[in-house]
């Protein structure tokens, strides 16, 4: 198995890991994928859309019907096998290996795609890295409109302060501040901030003491 893996946050956020894998696939043999055991994973297929994923009930799966991808979360470190069916009718056998790593974005590349398309996937990953670096450094970035805000927002059951927005052609970014208002240390997880259209979540400090704040960076599909 050959995995082209780019750790997006390696240059900017050593404490938070957001990885991306681009994996060539075919229907003749099983596909082995290393995934995060603790955080949510994003699965998509290049030049096609996910129709369904058959996995055991121990795995949480949520399809994104808008772009044909799926969020997958594993509850143990046991290897999980299943099947993925695409809207074009292709069926692939999957073998997930949960590991102690951060959230993974897995892009499956069908064998009919030419090499330039694989380069596009790498360029997309680089685009995410550049946007994330700009948000972390509070700087402007070409192709995005940066707006400073002071707005209270709610994501799932979490209340955050929206400090800045990055509006792009395909991906939007948000810089948010989260405060632990409780009297005990709080462990934050990326999955706590996933909602419709979210591509990735990065948290500067996951272990947050009482009264402390941390930055949360969210990148989502253009709505």
Please say whether the dihedral angle defined by the alpha carbons of residues 221, 48, 26 and 124, taken in this order, is positive or negative. negative
Find out whether 119 and 162 touch, Cβ atoms under 8 Å. Answer: no
The helix/strand/coil state of 10 is: helix
pLDDT value, residue 5: 32
pLDDT value, residue 181: 92
Half-sphere exposure of 74 (CA within 13 A, CB side): 27
- Regarding beta strands 145-155 and 198-203, do their DSSP bridges make them parallel or antiparallel, or are they unpaired? unpaired
Residue carrying structure tokens 């208002």: 181
Round to whole Å and give the CA distance between 146 and 175: 10
What is the residue-wise DSSP string for 54-123? E--TTEEEEEETTTTEEEEEESSSS-EEEEEEETTS-EEEEEEEEES--EEEEEEE-TTS-HHHHHHHHH
- In order along its 223 residues, the chain shows pLDDT tens digits of 333 332 333 334 443 445 678 888 888 778 888 888 888 888 888 878 888 999 998 899 988 887 788 899 998 889 999 999 888 888 888 999 998 888 888 888 866 544 444 445 566 677 778 888 899 999 998 888 999 998 999 998 899 999 999 998 778 899 999 999 999 999 998 888 888 778 888 999 999 999 999 999 998 877 5
pLDDT value, residue 1: 35
- Tell me how far the alpha carbon of residue 9 is from its chain's centroid: 12
Does the domain spanning 4-134 belong to CATH 3.40.50? no
Helix (H) or strand (E) holding 135: helix 115-137
Q: What is the pTM of this model?
A: 0.51
């Amino acid at each position: 198995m050959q995995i082209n893996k780019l750790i997006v946050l390696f240059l900017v956020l050593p404490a938070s890991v957001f990885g991306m894998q681009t994996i060539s696939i075919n229907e003749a043999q099983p596909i082995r994928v290393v995934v995060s055991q603790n955080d949510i994973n994003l699965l998509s297929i290049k030049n096609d859309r996910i129709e369904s994923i058959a996995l055991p009930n121990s795995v949480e799966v949520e399809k994104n019907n808008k772009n044909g991808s799926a969020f997958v979360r594993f509850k143990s470190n046991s290897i999980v096998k299943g099947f993925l069916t695409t809207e074009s009718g292709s069926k692939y056998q999957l073998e997930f290996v949960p590991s102690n790593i951060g959230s993974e974005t897995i892009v499956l590349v069908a064998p009919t795609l030419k090499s330039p398309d694989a380069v596009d996937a790498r360029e997309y990953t680089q685009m995410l890295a550049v946007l994330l670096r700009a948000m972390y450094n509070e700087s402007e970035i070409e192709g995005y409109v940066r707006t400073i805000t002071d707005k209270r927002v709610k994501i799932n059951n979490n209340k955050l302060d929206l400090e800045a927005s990055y509006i792009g052609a395909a991906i939007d970014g948000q810089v948010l501040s989260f405060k632990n208002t409780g009297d005990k240390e709080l462990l934050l997880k990326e999955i706590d901030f996933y909602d419709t259209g979210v591509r990735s979540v990065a948290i500067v400090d996951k272990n947050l003491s009482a009264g402390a704040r941390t930055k949360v960076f969210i990148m989502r599909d253009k709505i």
